[in-house]
């Protein structure tokens, strides 16, 4: 017991900064089991978690708000402009966003575990490998932008909406390439608890976006093309801000300059990135499919507008669970990399509990203000009425999303991406989509039937399965595997050197 006071002082620092000798790991496990009352352990873990989650929430909301602002400016130009820009951002750019964001999340596993094991030199190498892989992926995805109009028409979108969306996405190509650099930079900094840097850069970009949106759309009256141009500029502001911080001394331990080593081991890195991308994009694309399916209904323009408003609100609020996704991934990866399985399990429990509490708050807010929140986007009475009817499904989607991304964060921190990809494929596309089709067209429930079938048939089932897997996880075994992986990565680098 004589070491208790010293140990308490050490635990005030983030766990990732420990020098994890065998004795210290035993102390941390003993501390978690017996030494501290539950409420104090929860408070200690909450502080560590929110050091990541707090700035991550702000950063994600700020960056996503740029999309919301763009849609809002387009909505006040007219219903066609709102539908065209919404489809361009929600379906085409959203499809792209989901894949690249998922591929970048491989860094949460690699950088998180390496940082927890104090293999700092590997983080810069992983960052550069991610840039290479994601840039090449961006090049491969370019036909999606070039042929957006025929693709959307083939998917059943109204001709005028598809034509305008095809023009808009061509202006979004610079945003498309910004994803390849911004997402890896965010995860690289996040694994080092430098989220505050990302938050400040995103704040600056948001202010810039507001100013140039007002200037280009209202003062210069450049219409929908102007809204796309503002998004291009603002997202590259984020990229350059994060890049300059990284290479100009902000990450002296983990960034040691450009290295040819980044070109080695690309195949293994690509496989992990691909499984991460598939895991996350199968979730992200799911609600894009919902918008596309709605475009095949009668009075599709109003239905698409209403659903796009709901998806935009859902996406805005989803930035909070996604911040918990990031925080949980980092905490679990750091703990496993340090060999502390019990710490990883406790971090998971705290993160899920706090995210659900926040989800309940937003559930109540949506139910209370179901007639008002769509005014952000439009003043059309038809669209406002349709959004009000959909609000109950939006509320339950928000509630489910307060659990599911956090469990996915556990998967990322543990390196289970390939398994979760199969689960997502089965739940979303073999259960959710067919049930949505059945409810929407066979039972003639329209957009409410499609959405209800997809969230209760796909999202709910997937959440239950992930919860069962997480509860049955052998955390000590996962910690041993992570330690072995970190050792292998380090030995591989030494052999290359």
pLDDT of residue 297: 66
Highest mean pLDDT (candidates 11-15, 246-250, 475-479, 480-484): 246-250
The answer to the question of residue 233 being in a domain is yes
pLDDT of residue 455: 86
pLDDT in tens, 25-36: 443 444 455 567
pLDDT of residue 458: 85
The answer to the question of residue 6 being in a domain is no
Are 336 and 413 in contact by the 8 Å Cβ rule? The answer is yes
Highest mean pLDDT (candidates 104-118, 175-189, 221-235, 290-304): 175-189
Cα 395 from Cα 202, distance rounded (Å): 27
Other CB atoms closer than 10 Å to residue 379's CB: what's the count? 10
Dihedral of alpha carbons 413, 416, 418, 420, sign:
negative
* Least confident among 51-55, 146-150, 413-417: 413-417
Interacting residues of 487 by C-beta distance below 8 A, sequence separation 6+: none
The answer to the question of residue 463 being in a domain is yes
pTM for the model: 0.72
Tell me how many degrees the CA angle 366-370-371 measures, rounded to the nearest 5: 155
- Residue 14 pLDDT > 80: no
Average pLDDT, the chain: 79
pLDDT in tens, 393-442: 889 988 988 888 888 778 766 667 777 778 888 888 889 888 988 888 88
Are 168 and 217 in contact by the 8 Å Cβ rule? The answer is no
* Least confident among 86-100, 228-242, 452-466: 86-100
* Least confident among 57-66, 320-329, 477-486: 477-486
Biggest CA–CA distance in the chain, Å, is: 75
Cα 162 from Cα 160, distance rounded (Å): 5
The answer to the question of residue 497 being in a domain is no
pLDDT of residue 75: 62
Cα 135 from Cα 100, distance rounded (Å): 9
Are 485 and 122 in contact by the 8 Å Cβ rule? The answer is no
- What is the span of the domain harbouring residue 52? 12-258+267-492
pLDDT of residue 22: 45
Which tokens is 49 given? 């978690």
- Residue 157 pLDDT > 80: no
Highest mean pLDDT (candidates 365-379, 420-434, 474-488): 420-434
pLDDT of residue 51: 87
pLDDT of residue 151: 86
- Residue 241 pLDDT > 90: yes
Residue 303 pLDDT grade (very low, low, confident, very high; cuts 50, 70, 90): confident
For residue 315, give Cα distances in angstroms to 43, 107, 308, 497: 29, 23, 10, 44
pLDDT of residue 496: 47
pLDDT of residue 488: 61
The predicted model gives 210-218 an average pLDDT of: 80
pLDDT in tens, 41-52: 889 889 988 988
Cα 190 from Cα 57, distance rounded (Å): 12
The answer to the question of residue 2 being in a domain is no
Residue 142 pLDDT grade (very low, low, confident, very high; cuts 50, 70, 90): very high
The predicted model gives 285-290 an average pLDDT of: 73
The answer to the question of residue 7 being in a domain is no
Indicate the number of domains in the chain: 1
The answer to the question of residue 223 being in a domain is yes
- Residue 1 pLDDT > 50: no
Cα 52 from Cα 322, distance rounded (Å): 12
Pairwise pLDDT comparison (177 vs 329), residue with the higher score: 177
The answer to the question of residue 153 being in a domain is yes
Interacting residues of 220 by C-beta distance below 8 A, sequence separation 6+: 226
Other CB atoms closer than 10 Å to residue 155's CB: what's the count? 16
pLDDT in tens, 172-187: 899 999 999 999 999 8
Three-state DSSP at 379 gives coil
- Residue 154 pLDDT > 50: yes
Where b means 16+ CB within 10 Å and e means fewer, 432-453 reads bbebbeebbeeeebbbbbbbbb
Pairwise pLDDT comparison (457 vs 493), residue with the higher score: 457
- Residue 12 pLDDT > 70: no
């Amino acid at each position: 017991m004589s070491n208790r006071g010293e140990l308490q002082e050490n635990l005030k620092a983030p766990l990732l900064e420990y020098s994890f000798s065998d004795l210290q790991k035993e102390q941390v496990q003993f501390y978690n089991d017996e030494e501290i009352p539950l409420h104090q352990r929860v408070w200690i873990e909450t502080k560590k978690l929110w050091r990541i989650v707090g700035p991550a929430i702000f950063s994600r909301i700020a960056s996503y708000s740029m999309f919301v602002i763009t849609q809002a400016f387009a909505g006040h130009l007219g219903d066609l402009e709102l539908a065209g820009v919404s489809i361009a951002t929600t379906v085409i750019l959203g499809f792209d966003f989901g894949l690249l964001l998922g591929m970048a999340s491989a860094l949460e596993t690699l950088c998180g575990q390496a940082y927890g094991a104090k293999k700092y030199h590997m983080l810069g190498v992983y960052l550069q490998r991610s840039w290479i892989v994601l840039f090449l992926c961006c090049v491969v995805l370019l036909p999606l932008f070039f042929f957006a109009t025929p693709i959307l028409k083939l998917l059943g979108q109204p001709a005028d909406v598809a034509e305008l969306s095809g023009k808009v996405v061509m202006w979004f190509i610079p945003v498309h390439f910004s994803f390849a650099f911004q997402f890896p930079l965010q995860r690289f900094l996040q694994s080092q608890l430098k989220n505050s840097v990302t938050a400040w850069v995103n704040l600056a970009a948001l202010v810039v976006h507001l100013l140039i949106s007002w200037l280009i759309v209202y003062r210069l009256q450049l219409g929908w093309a102007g809204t796309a141009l503002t998004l291009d500029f603002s997202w590259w502001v984020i990229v350059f801000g994060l890049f300059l911080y990284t290479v100009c001394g902000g990450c002296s331990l983990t960034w040691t300059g450009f290295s040819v080593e980044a070109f080695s081991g690309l195949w293994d890195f690509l496989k992990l990135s691909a499984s991460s991308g598939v895991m996350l994009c199968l979730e992200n694309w799911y609600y894009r499919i919902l918008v596309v399916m709605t475009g095949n209904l009668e009075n599709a323009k109003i239905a698409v507008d209403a659903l796009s408003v709901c998806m935009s609100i859902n996406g805005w609020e989803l930035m909070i669970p996604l911040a918990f996704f990031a925080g949980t991934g980092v905490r679990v990866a750091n703990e496993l990399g340090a060999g502390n399985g019990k710490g990883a399990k406790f971090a998971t429990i705290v993160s899920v509990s706090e995210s659900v509490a926040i989800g309940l708050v937003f559930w109540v807010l949506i139910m209370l203000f179901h007639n008002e929140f769509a005014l952000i986007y439009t003043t059309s009475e038809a669209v406002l009425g349709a959004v009000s009817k959909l609000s109950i499904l939006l509320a339950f989607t928000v509630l489910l999303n307060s659990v599911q991304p956090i469990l996915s964060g556990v998967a990322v921190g543990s390196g289970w991406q390939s398994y979760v990809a199969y689960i997502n494929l089965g739940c979303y596309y073999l259960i959710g989509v067919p049930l949505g089709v059945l409810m929407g067209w066979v039972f003639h429930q329209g957009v409410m039937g499609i959405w209800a079938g997809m969230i209760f048939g796909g999202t709910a089932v997937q959440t239950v399965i992930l919860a069962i897997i997480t509860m049955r996880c052998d955390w000590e075994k996962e910690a041993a595997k992570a330690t072995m992986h970190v050792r292998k990565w380090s030995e591989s680098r030494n052999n290359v050197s």
